[in-house]
Chain A
Amino acid sequence: MKSSKILIGAGASAVLLAGCSSVGGGGDAGGGEGSSYPERSISVIVPVPAGSSTDLSTRVVASCLEEELGQTIVVENREGGSGAVGNSAFARAEADGYTLVSTTAANAVLPPILEGDVGYDVDSFKPVGMIGQAPVVLVVGPDSEYQNAEDFFAAAKSDRVLVGIPGATSVPAISINALIEQQDLAMEPVAFDGNQGTVQALLSGEVDAAYVSADGGVTLPRIESGEITAIATAVTEEVPHLPEVPTLESLGYSDLPYADSFWFLATRPDTPEDVTGTLEGAMESCMTNPEVQEQVGAGVAPAEFVDGEAAAEALRSAAEDYAAVLE
């Protein structure tokens, strides 16, 4: 019994070393009790429905992590309440690295602000690496009368332009409401079911434009195929894979809440450091793996690995942005 445990421990520290070597650390890899992690299967809670963009990319990364960590990873969808159901289940789990979560910043931050006590808040997550990101874009149909952002906003000032958004408490919803209030616009947001439903409504002509995240599953492929046209992005810097699409900031709409949706893998805050180190190392190998990058999607998978600390920083800044708008 004892010998087999040591064997597993040695295997795990080898993985740990391999994972950490590229970060330049790896000094804390020892032979202590905790370094035998992982000794059993790990579950990853995804607080959104199966088949969504967050879910699909998490599954890609999970199958890579399985190989890196040598243990089965079970992805569980616990949807509902804009992420509150799954994230609160995660917040009740032990801080041992065997229950992880893959959540968007919005689902981590918004329910506690909007609903009050949901059993977790932004400090319940210790990110170990970013999985994907999708800037919010303003898109129109191919035959739209608005061919650029200037036309659109000129009309939106005085007319009731209908803009589809993917849900009442989504990132785009909060961003667009701030935009309308700040600029005193006459446009009207209409909530649909997710990106799929929103883009479908745009294509069928029910709405004049859509304000959705440029995810790899629904929005980006249609922008690339020319079915819909992106006329602005709601982030501060130009998006590399959407060149020539102006940012709202460059159009003079600044101080908008964070509208760059991103999702990350996280463990509980009190997780032992060697465990988070192992996870972060495995995440780095996976997220820099070209195959994983391709499956998650060009433009969706971060070009360079965003480690736990950087993801945590982005999460904190998103939390401050949302709190400022909503309070």
Chain B
Amino acid sequence: MDLFSGVIEGFQVALSPENLLFVLLGVAVGMMVGVLPGLGPAPTVALLLPITFGMAGPSAIILLAGVYYGAMYGGTITSVLLRIPGEAASVVSTMDGHAMARQGAAGKALGLAAIGSFVGGLVATFCLMLFSPTLAAFAMSFGSPEYAVLALLGLVLVAYTSSGTMVKSLIGVGLGLLIASIGQDPVTGSSRWTFGLVDLLGGIDIVAVIMGLFGLSEVLNNIHESRTARTMITNIGRVLPTGRDVKENAGAIGRGSVIGTALGLVPGGGGVLGSLVSYGVERKVSKTPELFGKGAPQAVSGPETANNAASISTFIPLLTLGFPPNGVLAVIFGALLIQGVVPGPTLIVERPDIFWGVVASMVIGNVLLLVMNIPLLPVFVKIAQIPAAVMATITVAILMVGAYSINGNSFDVSVMIVAGVVGFLLRRIGIPPAPMVLAFILGPIFETNFRRSLVLSDGSMGIFASSPVTIGLLAVLLLVLVTAALPAVRSRRKLIEAE
């Protein structure tokens, strides 16, 4: 299918009445959770997962994707007005965005962020359209050794790019790999870590783990940290940017689009990484770097553009290789599995309705967000003041019902609760949940393909250097490992960790 007919089919899917409703619902829920401090996109998507069980494939992914990029828009609002990031990718805006608000230019900050997000979102969506089919066609030629090396590279990058110290991310990756090894050995079929429990023979259900690690542990963490109310800045001012504002920020928005789109592709990447790097770049290219931290508009427009672009380009590795680059996409990976679709290079060809439908819905969703953002500001400000106790109670109830409804099995509820408590305890000692979940997904891909490659080659490791693709990937892997050890990079990472 060529690009043109693909896009046509996509809009046919996305413009159907029920899918239009799901885009609208997705982005509205996304903005809401973006606004609500303490409920980020990953737990929300995990929470909505059970609702998608009975939905058609395209509708399910359209809804969940909308929540993700919608949250990128919404997160800015609380960052700017309350100096609390609504979700992690808007942390950067608590600095300059809030400073602008205190100077009476809250509207300008929010307006620029919305326009930047819109531009970044469209740029990333076009990249998704243009490059995915080619990348997927290329990946069709991948055999076991290619997937083994790719998964290994993914695991290393996850540990390298995640928030938190590298050692703690590595611990998270290790734990994820350990949990993934529960169940049947993929090569010999013998059981591992099952302790005689039949329920464990099939391994741990990824959806239950995700709901626990992202959803329940987040709720527990919020209760533990019980945020003190802060005074909100209510004087918003002019939201629509002037011609001069647009001109001054065009560069930042352009760079943010490129940076965000590129960093969404990296395992462990996504909104947070995109916005941090964009902030660094803007400070470097600015003629007035001393204004950064005191209300520089480019420090808001650039990063807010980048986080939205990244949230969309993270779909490229998932829909072409079957590799989810971050926690939210890991949940969407689970949603595809529930739909009976195994994410991988054949997805675009076999389920064009899902691929093109989702892509088209992103164009529609970004338009909706831009339009909704400005007039609905007062509503979202109200939502930000919902008491945490109410939110937490509703969330836990939905999680319990949701975990049971995966397989109609109370065992999954136990898995969800255990994952939630463990995830909470790990957060307390600084081990983030995302590397664990990603390792949980990438681990079996690595193990199966690595061991299968060795059977194919009769035990020779030479098979991993037998094709241009594996050699190229190994070179990248080596580069990552070397740079991770360089002192200059280490100190810069310290900075990111400190943010």
Contacts from A to B (Cβ < 8 Å) = 49-51, 76, 78-82, 84-85, 88-89, 111, 114-119, 160, 162, 167-169, 173, 188, 190-193, 201, 204, 206-207
Contacts and interface: CB of A to CB of B under 8 A. Distances in A.
Nearest to B408: A76
15 contacts: A51-B340, A76-B408, A80-B183, A81-B183, A82-B184, A88-B198, A117-B196, A119-B198, A169-B184, A190-B455, A190-B456, A191-B452, A204-B141, A206-B143, A207-B456
Nearest to A201: B143
Contacts of B341: 51
A117 B191 CA distance: 12
A81 B455 contact: no
B289 interface: no
B201 A190 contact: no
Contacts of A169: 184, 189
B143 A167 contact: no
Contacts of A115: 191, 201
B188 A168 contact: yes
A78 B458 contact: no
B409 interface: yes
B204 to A, nearest CB: 10
Contacts of A118: 198, 201
Contacts of B196: 116-117
Interface in B285-313: none
Given A81-B201, A191-B452, 4 more contacts: A51-B340, A78-B409, A80-B202, A168-B184
Interface string B326-363: 00000000000000110000000000000000000000
Nearest to A85: B202
Contact of A49 (B183, B188, B340): B340
B186 interface: yes
Contacts of A119: 198
Contacts of A201: 143-144
B198 A85 contact: yes
Contact of A206 (B187, B203, B456): B456
A88 B452 CA distance: 30
A119 B411 CA distance: 16
B191 A188 contact: no
A84 B201 contact: yes
Interface residues of B, number: 29
A50 B144 contact: no
Given A78-B407, A80-B202, A81-B201, A188 B455 contact: yes
A326 to B, nearest CB: 11
Nearest to A120: B198
A203 B286 CA distance: 54
A88 B199 CA distance: 9
Nearest to B346: A200
B186 to A, nearest CB: 7
B224 to A, nearest CB: 34
A88 B264 CA distance: 42
B189 A167 contact: yes
Contact of A85 (B190, B199, B456, B458): B199
Given A78-B409, A162-B456, A190-B452, A85 B141 contact: no
Nearest to B205: A80
Nearest to A194: B342
A85 B185 CA distance: 15
A173 B202 CA distance: 19
A119 B194 CA distance: 14
- Top 8 nearest A-B pairs (CB, nearest first) are A80-B202, A81-B201, A168-B189, A169-B189, A51-B340, A50-B340, A85-B202, A88-B198
A172 B261 CA distance: 45
Contacts of B183: 80-81
Contacts of B198: 81, 84-85, 88, 118-119
A162 B458 CA distance: 10
A114 B189 contact: yes
Q: Which of B189, B198, B202, B341 has the largest count of A CB atoms less than 10 A from its CB?
A: B198
A85 B412 CA distance: 13
A160 B202 contact: no
Interface string B399-415: 00000000111000000
B187 A191 contact: yes
Nearest to B141: A204
Contact of B458 (A114, A188, A204): A188
A134 B455 CA distance: 27
Q: Which of B184, B188, B458 has the largest count of A CB atoms less than 10 A from its CB?
A: B184
Nearest to A206: B143
Contact of A89 (B143, B409, B452, B458): B409
A111 to B, nearest CB: 8
A204 B143 contact: yes
A183 B176 CA distance: 42
Contacts of A160: 458
Nearest to A114: B189
Interface string B438-459: 0000000000100010011010
B452 A192 contact: yes
Interface string B81-113: 000000000000000000000000000000000
B188 A79 contact: no
B205 to A, nearest CB: 8
A82 B189 contact: yes
A248 B183 CA distance: 34
B92 to A, nearest CB: 42
B186 A191 contact: yes
B184 A81 contact: yes
Contacts of A162: 456
Contacts of A84: 198, 201-202
Contacts of A114: 189-190
